[in-house]
Chain A
Amino acid sequence: MKQDILLQVDDLRASIDGKEILKGINLTVRPGEVHAIMGPNGSGKSTLSEVLAGNPAFSVDGGTVDFHGVDLLALSPEDRSHEGLFLSFQYPVEIPGVSMVNFMRAALNAKRKYFNEEPLSATEFLKLMRQKRAIVELDNKLASRSVNEGFSGGEKKRNEIFQMAMLEPRLSILDETDSGLDIDALRIVAGGVNLLKTSNNATIVITHYQRLLDYIKPDFVHVLYKGRIVKTGGPELALELEDKGYDWIKEEVDNK
């Protein structure tokens, strides 16, 4: 059964500037699954994604994370990426003067180097870029533009999904990818994510709203509150939250 598990998080605790944010997270993700993580503001949703990706701003205070047999927490952020972890950032940063071509080529070739493969030729690379950008309907000006510089909110999120398509991760974490998107951009982004879904990879969708889940159908919905997953259910849980808000869950937890 163990080999069926892609990500196994056990009792994960993490803090920033001495403040404990994650207070014992348990989560199991299998290939082919989509997990939604919801919860009120400040519950630790973004922290969870940053900690899994290895952001050095956070310190891990306990727990284990097994990623297809690899001790994830022992790896550098770049090796986590090579091993197949992808984070679609809530606020993708701008890197002025660095073209998307140079950036993606550095990323892809770093991964190939990790697996002792030759770097891609320029022709192969550009062909791959052409194929992948079509998935999120980005035009060919993308290649020469600097990473996220001057991109609209929607373009930035599409650019994240484009990078996900290029890197073909085993596990993608989408951190509030729906925030700041109009309905058309949301449709394109969700369409891209669905297109990239296979029975071998998995997706964790972090969101505040049911809206995104209309497009990306989750198998499991988790509610994160005060640094713990306090409730897990099927897609119907998201609908219930949409309807009733978080107060009833807060009460349940706080009264315990």
Chain B
Amino acid sequence: MNKDKEQNTTPGKADKTPDIIGEVTGGEYKYGFTSDIPTEILERGLSEDVVRFISEKKGEPEWLLDFRLKAYRYWLTLKMPKWAHLDIPGIDYQAISYYAAPKTKSDAPKSMEEVDPQLIETFNKLGIPLEEQKVLSGMAVDAVMDSVSVKTTHKEKLAEMGVIFCSISEAVKDYPDLVKRYLGSVVSYRDNFFAALNSAVFSDGSFVYIPKGVRCPMELSTYFRINAGGTGQFERTLIVADDDSYVSYLEGCTAPMRDENQLHAAIVEIIVEDRAEVKYSTVQNWYAGDKDGKGGIYNFVTKRGLCRGHRSKLSWTQVETGSAITWKYPGCILAGDESVGEFYSVAVTNNYQQADTGTKMIHIGNNTRSTIVSKGISAGHSQNSYRGLVKVVSKAQGCRNYTQCDSLLLSPTCGAHTFPYIDVMNDTAVVEHEATTSKISEDQIFYCNQRGIPTEEAVGLIVNGYAREVMNKLPMEFAVEAQKLLQISLEGSVG
């Protein structure tokens, strides 16, 4: 009896797996709004004149204009790299505006009253309060909207300890020697296509200097927001940690939902001196495009740190949930003896997102150590690749690397890929690589359901459990946000 019903329900069951996950992974982007802020936008297109315009707009010294022009001329000789496991549609670099700035009463607001209320509102909506008294104690924020930094909080308090935390434009004016000494010293404008582009047209970003022996008393945080349409964002971050210093730095980013793709090509350079330690955490939540893969940010970022000092340490932690395309390999050059590099990453891709991300650990100093923990989570029709380089040069004695590379698949139509490059020139090195691929089983979901946990929450729980090792590395305030983000980027309404 009931033969028809039986036949309908049983095969339906096999199809139900992607359905449930599909519903759960269909979450909406919550930062997709656009703020109506009077904005000065440069005409689209890229030329030497545009580079000169940006430099002049910022009142830059001659050497910096030279740096930009050299980068621009070099960029003209380059072609976009094709080696990543990404399907990148042609980008028309003449169709992008390279400078957009919210109009303010003065170039840099001196106090809160001078900041456009609409701007404050925008950042409030994003959960980033700019009013000093409302700022989470223990965190200073630099807010960057489109091409310019709109507000840096807690500057005075930090200055008391000699910590410099300001926009890079201000740093060029106020601390030209420091900027000149370090800018481009880790990521040369000749490094790659996007590094050259960024070096030519970068508009703003954050500058951090921690003096000798200072443990930065609060988390430093930069919040990047793309608001204007038809523009790209090219920010540049430079962090210098002098001998025996410590800083924890956080970076967050969002953008409105638009049908067009927007380009984000940033550079982060970090210099770590003797016995200094830098923790750099990113929660990347650029708009990822809609369910059909329309729109979203193209995120091409070069991040690298130079552990120059003896026993210096640099730790990258990233939670990547956004962007239509991500191309990003935060790396460590372990030049100082006994220096330590770490990379902890969770990369989530959903719908038609593509990510090709990982790290580079270059062991140059003796007894240098590196740890890589990469957790990829793929859903929908997305493609998620880990690409990592571990290199040990011939003179580096006693180096160690441990790499763990896991992939979690949430749909039958997504892809997970691993491209490890291991290049060891010294016999004393110990390099380990472990990799796993898994998926959330129906049994795990049913087990949770039986205990009363609805499917949507169960998936969130399981995914967070899977990513726990990395989430644990995030600073407290960020960890909670990141955990919610993981859930949101994979959640929807379960029927």
Chain A residues in contact with chain B, CB under 8 A? 13, 15-18, 20, 53-57, 59, 61-62, 76-78, 80-82, 86-87, 89, 92-93, 95-99, 102-104, 106-108, 110-111, 114, 146, 163, 167
Of B13, B450, B453, B469, which contacts A57 at CB under 8 A?
A: B13
B437-452 interface mask toward A, CB cutoff 8 Å, 1 = contact, 0 = none? 0000111101111111
- A102–B448 Cα distance when bound, in Å, is 12
- A81–B454 Cα distance when bound, in Å, is 10
Query: Shortest CB–CB separation between residue A172 and chain B, in angstroms?
Result: 12
- Residues on B with C-beta less than 8 A from A114 are 452
- A77–B449 Cα distance when bound, in Å, is 6
- Residues on B with C-beta less than 8 A from A163 are 451
7 shortest interchain CB distances as A-B pairs: A97-B465, A98-B465, A77-B449, A59-B9, A81-B452, A97-B468, A107-B451
- Asked whether A97 and B466 contact (CB < 8 A) given A57-B13, A89-B447, the answer is yes
A16 near B10: Cβ-Cβ < 8 Å: yes
B454 near A110: Cβ-Cβ < 8 Å: yes
A96 near B450: Cβ-Cβ < 8 Å: no
By beta carbon, the residue of chain A nearest B438 is A96
- A111–B454 Cα distance when bound, in Å, is 10
- A104–B443 Cα distance when bound, in Å, is 17
A57 near B442: Cβ-Cβ < 8 Å: yes
- Asked whether A97 and B467 contact (CB < 8 A) given A92-B447, A114-B452, the answer is yes
B16 near A56: Cβ-Cβ < 8 Å: yes
- A62–B455 Cα distance when bound, in Å, is 26
- A16–B13 Cα distance when bound, in Å, is 10
- Residues on B with C-beta less than 8 A from A87 are 450
A76 near B449: Cβ-Cβ < 8 Å: yes
By beta carbon, the residue of chain A nearest B460 is A106
A18 near B7: Cβ-Cβ < 8 Å: yes
- A13–B7 Cα distance when bound, in Å, is 14
Q: Which of B385-404 contact A (CB under 8 A)?
A: none
A54 near B466: Cβ-Cβ < 8 Å: no
- Asked whether A95 and B447 contact (CB < 8 A) given A18-B10, A81-B452, the answer is yes
B453 near A110: Cβ-Cβ < 8 Å: yes
Q: Is B79 an interface residue (CB 8 A)?
A: no
**Given pairs A86-B450, A95-B465, 13 additional interface contacts (CB within 8 A):** A15-B6, A15-B10, A56-B442, A61-B1, A77-B449, A78-B455, A98-B462, A99-B465, A104-B451, A106-B453, A106-B461, A107-B448, A107-B452
- Residues on A with C-beta less than 8 A from B7 are 18
- A102–B453 Cα distance when bound, in Å, is 11
Of B5, B9, B449, which contacts A54 at CB under 8 A?
A: B449
B interface, over-half SS:
helix
- Residues on B with C-beta less than 8 A from A77 are 446, 449-450
- Residues on A with C-beta less than 8 A from B1 are 13, 61-62
- A120–B492 Cα distance when bound, in Å, is 26
Of B443, B452, B464, B465, which contacts A110 at CB under 8 A?
A: B452
- A81–B452 Cα distance when bound, in Å, is 5
- Residues on B with C-beta less than 8 A from A78 are 449-450, 452-455
- A133–B139 Cα distance when bound, in Å, is 40
Q: Is B2 an interface residue (CB 8 A)?
A: yes
- A57–B447 Cα distance when bound, in Å, is 13
- A76–B450 Cα distance when bound, in Å, is 9
Of A59, A92, A108, which contacts B13 at CB under 8 A?
A: A59
Query: Shortest CB–CB separation between residue A47 and chain B, in angstroms?
Result: 14
B447 near A97: Cβ-Cβ < 8 Å: no
B78-117 interface mask toward A, CB cutoff 8 Å, 1 = contact, 0 = none? 0000000000000000000000000000000000000000
- A102–B446 Cα distance when bound, in Å, is 17
Q: Is B60 an interface residue (CB 8 A)?
A: no
Query: Shortest CB–CB separation between residue A1 and chain B, in angstroms?
Result: 30
- A1–B164 Cα distance when bound, in Å, is 79
Query: Shortest CB–CB separation between residue A87 and chain B, in angstroms?
Result: 5
Q: Is B457 an interface residue (CB 8 A)?
A: yes
Of B441, B450, B461, which contacts A98 at CB under 8 A?
A: B461
Could you show 16 A-B contacts with beta carbons less than 8 Å apart? A13-B1, A16-B10, A55-B446, A57-B442, A59-B5, A59-B9, A76-B454, A78-B450, A78-B453, A95-B444, A95-B465, A97-B469, A99-B465, A107-B451, A110-B454, A114-B452
- A108–B451 Cα distance when bound, in Å, is 8
Query: Shortest CB–CB separation between residue B438 and chain A, in angstroms?
Result: 9
- A106–B10 Cα distance when bound, in Å, is 30
Query: Shortest CB–CB separation between residue A77 and chain B, in angstroms?
Result: 4
By beta carbon, the residue of chain B nearest A106 is B453
